[in-house]
Structure 1
């Protein structure tokens, strides 16, 4: 069984299946002519969308990397956002290979790139959500234990946590390397996942990605944010939510973008929809997931403090202000909470 993973390979079923992608014709196969999407409307639309994602993602995340890595003072917050931007930048840099494959349905880049592009894409998925979990837990710890956070929330600790998140993401992305393969199908090269060696490999890999890369992180983030909201309200600080609004936007965007992909992958496992509907659904879900990688820099800009009032300021200043704003506001909150806890302790 070869399945449709995050690779723009939408013909995800057995070679014996009667389903043929809508943008293939036997005449085209015979002559190896690859017009972009063969005039198919949905394919053309998604091709344009992916080109925009590549351009905006590389430019936007490149600016965030430059600002957070070289223009701003290193801090815990810049470490988080720099890591997110690096993950998205790498993803967008690899995306052109799969965009070309989506448009031509013929993989011409060899076995190594077939495995590498799939690996990088799942590396982006896992590293992004793990970093969002880390940031949520960091915010929660800062609110629940302000004195501890003031003393222990160091750049060195943040760097170690980021490395651990990336190592875990690499380990969970290895199945993309193991099962990825290039095979000839109807006279064309296909970059596909080949699970013929084990009956349960397909289901195991798909469910593990859904559980570890979506459900469990989502539950952890929900718990962290519930604690944060409860703590802020109990301290009558409900208005002091600036440190969390960008994170909230990033988290909501991630889950909205990735939910369609995971939904159609699960449907594919159960064959609950006709093949052609699954193929189109995976196309749309894959492109929606890709969009997450260029939206983050836009959120940094539009979620920055007083965006409308400062509309005339430079694009770079908006990004720097958005990233730095959380650190400044959170530091003020930690200082205030620490002093309050210190005063309370003198009365015990």
Structure 2
């Protein structure tokens, strides 16, 4: 059955060959108003927690890097990650209100702006993790070259490129996102009916460029790093790399379930409507949670737990971020000496 263009703001769960329309997915239409059930309470409570922790945690990281620590290539990577998560965290309350009421209260412009934050955060985060992984691999494999060419200016240019590419990949949300009012109820939708850019295309692009390809490159880089460190008996110098490894693993854990359910939604006729409804809402909430996880990892993996307990949260974050810079530089120097 083809989509009826006149029914765009309602949940079409009763028509099995039509997919659910989920508000959280920036390329799918919004859900009907949630009933006050356990799932609704879980999602709304999670949004409040994510908003608070995301703003506070990433705000602290931005302040530490901008004020407390010396500007380095590594600090630029982490600063950009924190900015991405901080900006996304500011949009969480809007999505929570929309989910709870089933009505978009914030106008056409905010519909586009809030909708683009979700994919922009995903793409910018995974691309920054990719850049950091390649950067560290280069420091280990080509230490002399990186010492001569690894500068703040070039790193800033790479970060700008990451944001440009991420923005380009979110163009469907920017261009085709719109509001529509039916019977005094306004929804914020992605109008696939007026474009050739189908839901399937959106889901596949999101999976390929938002997870699969970057993750494959990251795994290759860290495999090379591990082999080089073991070959040169430098594993003790690799301790700060555990922070970055934890950040990558956390990203995958948070985003992979959403990516899976987004692909399942494309083939909705094969799966239970209830499974898709609950799965999409829960997995998107988990993906949202990634926005506040990195500051926690910086705090609790910067040094030994016993010492961490005696330090302030700010000191732990600052120490973790500084250790990253010292470790990368030390490995480059050591590799240069060995060469």
TM-score (norm 1): 0.87
Does the 8 Å contact 2:12/2:20 carry over to 1? Answer: no
- Structure 2 SS opposite 1:309: helix
CA deviation map 1:301-328 (0-9, x unaligned): 0111123223121111000001110111
- 2:154 is aligned to 157
- Structure 1 SS opposite 2:180: strand
Q: After superposing the two structures, state which structure 1 stretch, 234-243 or 211-220, moved more.
A: 234-243
Residue 179 of structure 1, CA deviation = 2.3
Residue 181 of structure 1, CA deviation = 2.2
- Structure 1 SS opposite 2:186: strand
- 2:214 is aligned to 217
Residue 20 of structure 1, CA deviation = 9.0
Cα distance in 1, alignment partners of residues 111 and 69 from structure 2: 37
Does the 8 Å contact 2:257/2:283 carry over to 1? Answer: yes
- Structure 2 SS opposite 1:196: helix
User: Aligned pair count?
Assistant: 322
1:181-196 paired onto structure 2 within 5 Å: 181-184=178-181, 188-196=185-193
- Structure 1 SS opposite 2:136: helix
- 1:336 is aligned to 334
Structure showing greater radius of gyration is 1
1:136-175 paired onto structure 2 within 5 Å: 136-175=133-172
- 1:253 is aligned to 250
- Of the candidates 283, 288, 297, which is equivalent to residue 281 of structure 2? 283
1:55-70 paired onto structure 2 within 5 Å: 55-70=52-67
Cα distance in 2, alignment partners of residues 116 and 149 from structure 1: 38
Q: Which runs of 5+ in 1 are unaligned?
A: 3-8, 22-33, 342-348
Aligned CA distance change for structure 1 residues 200 and 335 (closer, same or farther; 3 Å)? closer
Cα distance in 2, alignment partners of residues 92 and 12 from structure 1: 30
- Structure 1 SS opposite 2:233: coil
TM-score (norm 2): 0.89
Aligned CA distance change for structure 1 residues 148 and 199 (closer, same or farther; 3 Å)? closer
- Structure 2 SS opposite 1:239: helix
Aligned CA distance change for structure 1 residues 116 and 13 (closer, same or farther; 3 Å)? farther
- 1:133 is aligned to 130
- Structure 1 SS opposite 2:235: coil
Q: After superposing the two structures, state which structure 1 stretch, 199-208 or 104-113, moved more.
A: 199-208
Cα distance in 2, alignment partners of residues 12 and 244 from structure 1: 47
- Structure 1 SS opposite 2:237: coil
Aligned CA distance change for structure 1 residues 12 and 59 (closer, same or farther; 3 Å)? farther
- 2:27 is aligned to none
- 1:240 is aligned to 237
Residue 337 of structure 1, CA deviation = 1.4
Residue 206 of structure 1, CA deviation = 1.5
Aligned CA distance change for structure 1 residues 12 and 239 (closer, same or farther; 3 Å)? farther
CA deviation map 1:121-161 (0-9, x unaligned): 11111100000000000010011011111221111111110
Does the 8 Å contact 1:37/1:43 carry over to 2? Answer: yes
Q: Which runs of 5+ in 2 are unaligned?
A: 22-31
- 2:324 is aligned to 326
Aligned CA distance change for structure 1 residues 131 and 259 (closer, same or farther; 3 Å)? same
Aligned CA distance change for structure 1 residues 277 and 16 (closer, same or farther; 3 Å)? closer
Residue 17 of structure 1, CA deviation = 7.8
Aligned CA distance change for structure 1 residues 10 and 57 (closer, same or farther; 3 Å)? farther
